[in-house]
Amino acid sequence: MMSSVPPDHSPNHPPEDEPPGVPGFRSWSGVYLFVFGWFVLLVLLLAIFTRVFA
């Protein structure tokens, strides 16, 4: 039985390992690191918020 969909190999398909195209980031690892750092900063800010107000 055949139920899978053939992958789209049309020529206008850009390559899948393309760079992020975000100013300041040359690789996806850099983007992930930035997001992780942002998450740590948010938790830190929320912890400070809790300490100040709660």
Query: Concatenated DSSP letters for 9-29?
Result: --TTPPPTT----BTTBSSHH
Residue 6 or 24 with smaller CB distance to another protein: 6
Distance in Å, CB of 24 to another protein, minimum: 13
Q: Which residues bind another protein (CB under 8 A)?
A: 1-8, 13-22, 28, 31-32, 35-36, 38-39, 42-43, 46-47, 49-50, 52-54
Rounded CA separation 20/29 (Å):
10
Distance in Å, CB of 17 to another protein, minimum: 8
